[in-house]
Each structure stands twice: as structure tokens, then as C-alpha cells.
Amino acid sequence: MRLVGVLVSVAILGVLLMVWLYYGAGSGASSASPAASPTPPVSRVGEVRQAAESVECRNNLSQIRQAIQIRTTTEETYPANLQELGLPETMLRCPVSGQPYQYDPTTGQVRCTTPGHMSY
């Protein structure tokens, strides 16, 4: 009798944990009117994945900037484009949006155009 109660309790806790991981704790967008295009709830797993991709974007930009700095130290000119740096093509795009990074060859500035990443 006690073993059945423990197993049922563990099963209920497992279901509650899965629901919490999938739906989060109400972190979806809340609108004043429920009929006004509701957005699906954001999952915890999705939030973690998005945070990891943001870190990857930041790291890509940091490595690209270091490669530009090394290039200007050795050749005293900025590269004409990012492909001249010899970095993998996947590193030259934002992992979140897939858009290529914007590069200004006159100043050597690189930035991400994905909303939320513009300050990286």
C-alpha cells in the first residue's frame, strides 16, 4: 500500500515537472484582451536554447573582432569583407536569425542586426 502511494506521488510530480518545463511559469506575453492574438507560452527549454544562442552570437562577434584586430596588426588595413579572415561560414552569421553580420570595412566595425543583439 505504501509503495503504491509513493509511486503515484512520483508520477504526479513527474507530470507536474514536465508541464512546468514545457509551459514555464506564465512567462508568455500577457495582453489586455485575451482575444487579441494570443501568443503561445514560451517553454523553459526554449528560453535556455535562446540564451545559449545569444551567448554563441556574442562569442562569434568577439572572435571576429579579434581576427580583425590581428589582421590590422599584421597588414595595417582592415579586410574588405569578413570572408577574408578565413573563419568558418557558420561563424559569420547570427545563430539566432541566420542573418550575416554587418561589417564596415572603413572602420572595421562588426555588429549583429538581430533584434536584441544590437548591443553585442
Q: What is the pLDDT of residues 7-48, one digit of tens each?
A: 889 999 988 888 777 766 554 444 444 444 334 446 677 777
Alpha carbons 87 and 74: distance in angstroms, whole number: 17
- Residue range 74-95: average pLDDT? 90
C-alpha 36 chain-centroid distance: 27
Which pairs from 17-20 meet CB under 8 Å and 24+ separation? 20/44
103 neighbors 109 (Cβ within 8 angstroms)? yes
Amino acid at site 113:
T
pTM of the model: 0.62
State residue 76's pLDDT score: 86
**Residue 82, CA distances (Å) to 31, 37, 39, 85, 120 in order:** 42, 40, 37, 6, 17
Q: Mean pLDDT in the chain?
A: 81
- Other C-beta atoms within 10 Å of 101: how many? 20
- 112 against 117, higher pLDDT: 112
